[in-house]
Amino acid sequence: MGRRFPRQFVFGAATSSYQIEGAASEDGRGPSIWDTYCRTPGKVQNGDTGDVACDHYHRWPEDIALMKELSLSAYRFSLAWPRWFPTGTESAPVEAGVAFYDRLVDGLLQAGITPWVTLYHWDLPQALQDRGGWADRDTAHRFVAFADAVGQRLGDRVQHFITHNEPWCAGVLGHWLGRHAPGHRDPAEALAAVHHLLLSHGLAVPVLRQHAPAAEVGITLNLTPAYPASDSIGDALATERIDGHINRWFLDPVHGRGYPADQWAHYVEEGHLGKAEPTWLRPGDLDTMAAPIDFLGVNYYSRALGRGPEPGNHPRTIEPPPQSSKTDIGWEVAPQGLLDLLLRLQRDYGTPLVITENGAAYHTGPDEDGRVRDTARIAYYASHLDACALAIEQGVDLGGYFAWSLLDNFEWAEGYSQRFGLVYVDYATQRRVIKDSGRWYADLARTGALPETEVPG
Ligand code: FCB
């Protein structure tokens, strides 16, 4: 046997509502910003939408059975806010929407699988977007009302809550780079949106605790360790800025350090923040965002390489070296980045950690005999889980790992073109097939030990 994980270590898999549920207009669900975005020509590959996705809304019992077959001890999923509050402003949640998650949570508990609930995985009610969305402070208060209802209705059974998934993506991909809903390209607006996302996190933490005092509450960040492309000073400086933009802008405020001053100065210099304090930053906000959390959720996929700015340009990330291995979505396979990241988080922040997403896109489908031999995905998982085990050996407080994803699903702007699942989904028939990687992961979840043998791939 290879490296062993501690006995209590959680092996789970993750999904999110819009990516798997389908049933887009059933039981009173209102439209979300992703429904709108998918219908905007040219935004999502192939014009794909989440209307049907994996039809999990109807097939959840079968999906729980799959989780059992995979020996998962936990399942991370998100709640569709517009199923609870179709316009985001109702005074009480829609019963049919709540009932779906009641059934799901009960089903999981019966199967001996611990539910880990993410409140916001990007499907904002469109009606709230129409009122200004995350750029508007009021959305943070609407989110708290949502969290209050969630705590009230699920807090008796759910003991693990994640307020937000990847506020960098919701804020920056959505409002700065225009690559995610709502598709804006306005850096100043993006910084306001990020602020309200982080504020809403801080406001929601105590509300969730009120209803579920023993629950563990955290936030999930997408973290990308950045490395200089060369040993030039320019590349080193660029790398600091990339780290400030993607990682520290989120890590620091959540840990009570406010926004990093160096990065703040860069945003002022780049014209994204004025010289005066922005109006969105109000007294007390930074304390609110620093609400104590029980764990930090880490989503890790790859690393970034920093290249120094040409005069007048922003620092940029460059393509990985040509000899490096990449997944089918084009992301470099970089398990060392995960080890470096975990060690750094332990050293600089010290919050208990959970990997809430890690995984790889490979197109591999069924062979003629129906089996999905996704050896490249096994190699990806093996190397990254090895990094996790090594991090634990080196003193990192890492409590669990969630594979992304349980199922092949709707990969945002990439539509259905990217397959991340441990389970293959035939979208035409909704047939599910456990991939070889799923079987490999099930063995690990059962034994808690990584196989010693060289992984195929
Ligand atoms: C993360 C998202 C998740 C999934 C993976 C591939 O950024 O949280 O929904 O799309 O990337």
Phi and psi angles of residue 32, each rounded to the nearest 5 degrees, phi first: -110, 170
Per-residue pLDDT of 259-291, as tens digits, reads 999 999 999 999 999 999 999 999 999 999 999
Per-residue pLDDT of 107-143, as tens digits, reads 999 999 999 999 999 999 999 999 999 999 999 999 9
* Residue 305 covered by a domain: yes
What tokens appear for 213 in the block? 């005092």
Q: Is 418 in the pocket of ligand 1 (CB under 6 A)?
A: no
* Residue 456 covered by a domain: no
What is the number of domains present in the chain?
Answer: 1
pLDDT at 313: 60
Q: How many residues does the chain have?
A: 457
Residue 378 carries which side chain, given as an amino acid letter?
A: I
* DSSP code of residue 369: T
pLDDT at 322: 87
pLDDT at 341: 99
Going from the C-alpha of 21 to that of each of 26, 410, 413, 416, the distances in angstroms are 11, 10, 17, 14
Residue nearest to atom 9 of ligand 1 (CA): 16
Phi and psi angles of residue 37, each rounded to the nearest 5 degrees, phi first: -60, -45
* Residue 457 covered by a domain: no
Q: Is 404 in the pocket of ligand 1 (CB under 6 A)?
A: yes
Query: How much distance in Å is there from the Cα of 143 to the middle of ligand 1?
Result: 21
Phi and psi angles of residue 293, each rounded to the nearest 5 degrees, phi first: -115, 160
pLDDT at 360: 99
Q: Is 123 in the pocket of ligand 1 (CB under 6 A)?
A: no
Q: Is 402 in the pocket of ligand 1 (CB under 6 A)?
A: no
Residues 412-431, mean pLDDT to the nearest whole number: 98
What tokens appear for 441 in the block? 């992961």
Count of helix runs (H) and strand runs (E) in the chain: 17, 13
Q: Is 420 in the pocket of ligand 1 (CB under 6 A)?
A: yes
With beta carbons less than 8 A apart as the criterion, state whether 334 and 328 touch: no
pLDDT at 274: 95
Three state DSSP letters for 178-203: CCCCCCCCCHHHHHHHHHHHHHHHHH
pLDDT(243) > 90:
yes
Q: Which atom of ligand 1 is nearest to the CA of 329?
A: 6
Residue 218 carries which side chain, given as an amino acid letter?
A: G
With beta carbons less than 8 A apart as the criterion, state whether 3 and 450 touch: yes
User: For the CA atoms of 56, 61, 65, 71, what is the dihedral angle to 10 degrees?
Assistant: 70
Q: Which atom of ligand 1 is nearest to the CA of 418?
A: 6
pLDDT(352) > 60:
yes
The set of residues, in sequence order, having a beta carbon less than 8 Å from that of 350 and lying 6+ positions away, is 397
Query: How much distance in Å is there from the Cα of 421 to the middle of ligand 1?
Result: 12
* Residue 3 covered by a domain: no
* Residue 2 covered by a domain: no
State which residues form the domain around 201.
10-451
**What three-state secondary structure class fits 268?**
helix
Q: Which atom of ligand 1 is nearest to the CA of 361?
A: 6
Least confident interval from 14-18, 80-84, 209-213, 305-309: 305-309
Query: What's the CA gap between 269 and 125, in Å, rounded?
Result: 34
Query: How much distance in Å is there from the Cα of 370 to the middle of ligand 1?
Result: 27
Query: How much distance in Å is there from the Cα of 282 to the middle of ligand 1?
Result: 31
DSSP 388-414: HHHHHHTT--EEEEEEE-SB----GGG
pLDDT(457) > 50:
no
Q: Which atom of ligand 1 is nearest to the CA of 222?
A: 7
pLDDT, averaged across the chain: 96
Query: How much distance in Å is there from the Cα of 356 to the middle of ligand 1?
Result: 10
Helical axes 95-110 vs 137-154, angle rounded to 10° = 50
Mutation probe of ligand 1 site: the residue of 78, 165, 404, 414 with most atoms within 8 A of C-beta: 404
Query: How much distance in Å is there from the Cα of 306 to the middle of ligand 1?
Result: 22
* Residue 77 covered by a domain: yes
pLDDT at 452: 77
Residues 165-176, mean pLDDT to the nearest whole number: 98
Q: Which residues are catalytic?
A: 166, 357
Query: What's the CA gap between 269 and 216, in Å, rounded?
Result: 39
Going from the C-alpha of 213 to that of each of 75, 126, 157, 207, 446, the distances in angstroms are 21, 32, 12, 10, 30
Q: Is 165 in the pocket of ligand 1 (CB under 6 A)?
A: yes
* Residue 325 covered by a domain: yes
* Domain CATH number, residue 281: 3.20.20.80
The set of residues, in sequence order, having a beta carbon less than 8 Å from that of 439 and lying 6+ positions away, is none
Q: Is 222 in the pocket of ligand 1 (CB under 6 A)?
A: yes
* Residue 369 covered by a domain: yes
pLDDT(49) > 70:
yes
Query: What's the CA gap between 396 and 385, in Å, rounded?
Result: 14
Greatest C-alpha distance within the chain: 65
What tokens appear for 255 in the block? 């840990």
Q: How many CB atoms lie within 10 A of CB 415?
A: 17
Phi and psi angles of residue 422, each rounded to the nearest 5 degrees, phi first: -80, -15
Whether cis (ω within 30° of 0) applies to the bond prior to 182 is yes
Q: Is 357 in the pocket of ligand 1 (CB under 6 A)?
A: yes
Q: Is 17 in the pocket of ligand 1 (CB under 6 A)?
A: no
Angle (nearest 5°) at CA 417 between 413 and 423: 115
Cross-strand pairs, 426: 431
